[in-house]
Amino acid sequence: MKKTIFWGSIIAVILIIFPFVYYSNFMINYLTQILIMALFAVSLNLLIGYTGMISFGHAAYFGIGAYSVGILLQKYSSNLLGSLFLAVVFSAIAALVIGFFCIRLGRIYFAMLSLAFAQIIYTIVVKWTGMTGGDQGLIGGIPKPPISLLGLSFSIGTPLNFYIFTVILVIASFVICKFIVDSPFGAILKTIRDNFLRTYFIGIPVKIYQLVIFVIAGTFAGLSGALMALFISGAYPDFTYWTKSAEPIFMILVGGMGSLLGPILGAAILNLLTAYITMYTHLYELVMGTVLVIFILSLKKGLVDYLLESERFKRWSSSLAKKKPSRIGQATE
Amino acid sequence: MVILQTENLKKAFGGLQAVNKVNLTIAKGELSSIIGPNGAGKTTLFNLITGYLPADSGKIIFKGENIFGLPHYKIVRKGIGRSFQRTTIFPSLTLFENVRAAILSHKKKNFKFFTDSNSLEDVNEATFQILESLNLPDKAYLISSTLAHGDQKLLDIGIALALEPDLLLLDEPTAGMSPEERWNTVAMIQKLWKTRNMTVVFIEHDMDMVFSISQQIRVLHYGEIIAEGQPEEISHNRAVIEAYLGEEMI
């Protein structure tokens, strides 16, 4: 646990120092976007990769986070952190209510019901014009009042400051996700993924675990949505549309679902590809689709999983003799 | 002392009466078996006792408490462990992780979010004890799906053992094993039963094994118990010979 915090802090510090060494607006914006989307993908991977629950409606919580923070700051509040917190709480509540119904069903029905609920959220967003701006989305910009904390004031109005703000929140979220997957709770999630029937027969109420992780995943998706709304200073109906639910699935497929790093890498690869492809052609979807097909057909699993499972890596890691739990008093090799 | 008792337990699948008016009394500390032809209702009986399938009617009394209708995960926590006919493990996890999950659940450490699972010394120790009792400690960090079938069956039993059950139900523990593995497993089951003070009931088709280690044998035929007794009595029971054993056993 201390190790996770240590490495999390190191990565956060490196990411924060980076723009002071080499600064470009393009890069800062892309890094911000990658971090936000990586959080979205990691949150979904808690369900897909760690619990075996394939949700096709994860955009619902992303969208609720985005719209909540936008509406709160535009209409009701000038407290940024408070609004952000409330937005995340709203996403969690939505995940609790929707998850309560979805977990009743297995596999493909779970996937379809989660998608159906997300489409309901989408319809509400489009039709509730008075609150959400309907088709046009939340336009006119989202105010970003300075954050005052412990007598200090910090504005996230500039790209650099917003980047730092994002790094802190996203890396902290990754650290929490890492705690969860390494915890006993996470160990049980993996048994549910592998064989939920047997998990019942070690005395585990599987549905409760599924609901809890569904809410946790929805919470982090809500945070990533809220950050995205602040980042682009708006929220749009397609944030809750099913195509938005597909984005993190692609990231997970490309990066790999067996680790936390997989979806992060997937998010980075897909975002950078998008950036470069759109520079050269407007047939972006065609190129992207082809790349995805080649990727998935040739590796048959995500990039990180592919590397971790390769013989070369296994030899390397066993030569490092990773410390694994062993009997007390018995030396680890 | 009786550990498990069923009264008039019934289960039908459509028109088929899979388990019919079964009155079972299992004494504490007994090592016994249930035999019978295919489709006799042996596995269904286990499924009813463990709550995997809801019984139509009857009573299931475990340690003096009626557990009829309780959800399966609660019945497990009352102290009934089981292994499965078709090996049921966590295939993508290591053996260590397979057994540890059960240990975490048994020690009620399963709902912790901010503890590193690897740091729980007592859990690690208990996990290794189980793996050692199965002669599998060297394979602790292999992915369980890569194991040979016999080892997977042992692991299946190991997951059940990790729950320290008072009553252990083994559904064909040696099915698909080679003769050598089979006798090793038999010896192991006997040893575990003796050292762990459990009550063990197993379903088996291998009559050599059944007659060599069972203290008590129950014969199920068309969902009903047609005979019950010590191996000696069962092997001479007319009804059992006609229904299942055949003439050559005499």
Q: Is A184 within 8 Å of B119 when comparing Cβ atoms?
A: no
**B210 φ, ψ to 5°?**
-55, -50
Distance from CA of A174 to the nearest CA of B (A): 13
CB pairs under 8 A between A and B: 115
Whether residue A45 lies inside any domain: the answer is yes
CA distances from B125 to B49, B103, B193 (A): 31, 10, 21
Q: Is A325 within 8 Å of B50 when comparing Cβ atoms?
A: no
CA distances from B41 to A304, B32, B85 (A): 47, 17, 13
Residue A298's pLDDT band (boundaries 50, 70, 90)?
confident
The residue with greater pLDDT, A276 or A230, is A230
Q: Which residues of B71-108 are buried (b: 16+ CB within 10 A; e: fewer)?
A: ebbebbbbbbbbbbbebbbbebbbbbbbbbbbbbbbee
> Which residue is closest to A216 within chain B, CA to CA?
B113
Task: Give me the residues paired with residue A138 across strands.
Answer: A235
pLDDT at A311: 78
Q: Which residues contact A232 (CB under 8 A, 6 or more apart)?
A: none
Q: Is B73 within 8 Å of A205 when comparing Cβ atoms?
A: yes
Run of H or E residues at B27: strand B16-27
Q: Does position A242 have pLDDT exceeding 90, yes or no? A: yes
C-beta neighbour count of A328 within 10 angstroms: 10
Scan for tokens 């910009």, then name that residue.
A141
The residue with greater pLDDT, A149 or B182, is B182
Tell me the per-residue pLDDT of A259-297, one tens digit each, with 9 for 90 and over. 999 999 999 999 998 888 888 888 888 888 888 888 888
Q: Which residues of A42-66 are buried (b: 16+ CB within 10 A; e: fewer)?
A: bbbbbbbbbbbbbbbbbbbbbbbbb
Q: Which residues of A touch B72 (CB under 8 A)?
A: 200-201
pLDDT at A321: 54
Q: Does position A1 have pLDDT exceeding 80, yes or no? A: no
The closest CB to that of B89, out of A187, A198, A324, belongs to A198
Q: Is A184 within 8 Å of B84 when comparing Cβ atoms?
A: no
Helix H segments across chain B?
Answer: 42-49, 72-78, 95-106, 121-133, 149-161, 179-196, 207-213, 231-235, 238-240
Q: Is A198 within 8 Å of B128 when comparing Cβ atoms?
A: no
Average pLDDT over residues B4-10: 93
Q: Which residues contact B132 (CB under 8 A, 6 or more apart)?
A: none
Answer whether A184's CB lies under 8 Å from B111's CB. yes
Tell me the per-residue pLDDT of A72-122, one tens digit each, with 9 for 90 and over. 999 998 899 999 999 999 999 999 999 999 999 888 999 999 999 999 999
Tell me the per-residue pLDDT of B197-238, one tens digit each, with 9 for 90 and over. 899 999 998 888 899 899 999 999 999 999 999 998 888 888
Average pLDDT over residues B139-156: 93
**Side chain identity at residue B225, one-letter code:** I
Average pLDDT over residues A196-219: 96
In chain A, % of residues over pLDDT 70 = 95
Q: Is B104 within 8 Å of A187 when comparing Cβ atoms?
A: yes
Residue A326's pLDDT band (boundaries 50, 70, 90)?
low
Average pLDDT, whole number, for chain A? 91
Answer whether A223's CB lies under 8 Å from A208's CB. no
Tell me the per-residue pLDDT of A133-173, one tens digit each, with 9 for 90 and over. 888 999 888 999 988 877 788 889 899 999 999 999 999 99
Average pLDDT over residues A244-271: 93
> Which residue is closest to A206 within chain B, CA to CA?
B73
| A180 shares contact with chain B (CB less than 8 Å) | yes
Residue A331's pLDDT band (boundaries 50, 70, 90)?
very low
Distance from CA of B240 to the nearest CA of A (A): 33
Q: Does position B134 have pLDDT exceeding 80, yes or no? A: yes
Whether residue A333 lies inside any domain: the answer is no
Closest to A199 (Cα-Cα) out of B173, B196, B192, B97? B97
Answer whether B112's CB lies under 8 Å from A185's CB. yes
The closest CB to that of A198, out of B88, B104, B141, belongs to B88
Q: What angle do CA A108, A109, A113 make, to 5 degrees?
A: 120
Q: Which residues of A touch B128 (CB under 8 A)?
A: 326-327
The residue with greater pLDDT, A123 or B87, is A123
Residue A320's pLDDT band (boundaries 50, 70, 90)?
low
Q: Is B248 exposed, middle or buried (0-12, 13-18, 19+ CB in 10 A)?
A: exposed
The residue with greater pLDDT, A39 or A314, is A39
Q: Which residues of A touch B96 (CB under 8 A)?
A: 324-325
Can you name the CATH fold of B2-249?
Rossmann fold (3.40.50)
Whether residue A257 lies inside any domain: the answer is no
Query: What is the ipTM, given to two decimal places?
Result: 0.92
pTM above 0.95, yes or no: no
pLDDT at B95: 95
Average pLDDT, whole number, for chain B? 91
Sequence ranges of the domains in chain B:
2-249
Task: Give me the residues paired with residue B217 across strands.
Answer: B33, B229
Whether residue A88 lies inside any domain: the answer is yes
CA distance A256 to A304: 5
198-227 of A, contacting B, C-beta below 8 A = 198-206
Average pLDDT over residues A176-184: 96
Domain count, chain A: 1
Tell me the per-residue pLDDT of B89-110, one tens digit each, with 9 for 90 and over. 999 999 999 999 999 999 988 8
Residue A332's pLDDT band (boundaries 50, 70, 90)?
very low
Answer whether B46's CB lies under 8 Å from B214's CB. no
Which of B83, B92, B97, B164 best probes binding to A when mutated, by most A CB atoms within 10 angstroms? B92
Average pLDDT over residues A311-332: 64
Q: Which residue range is the domain that position A15 belongs to?
A: 2-241
Q: Does position B161 have pLDDT exceeding 50, yes or no? A: yes
| A326 shares contact with chain B (CB less than 8 Å) | yes
Whether residue A120 lies inside any domain: the answer is yes
CA distances from A118 to A105, A111, A183, B9, B129 (A): 16, 11, 30, 45, 47
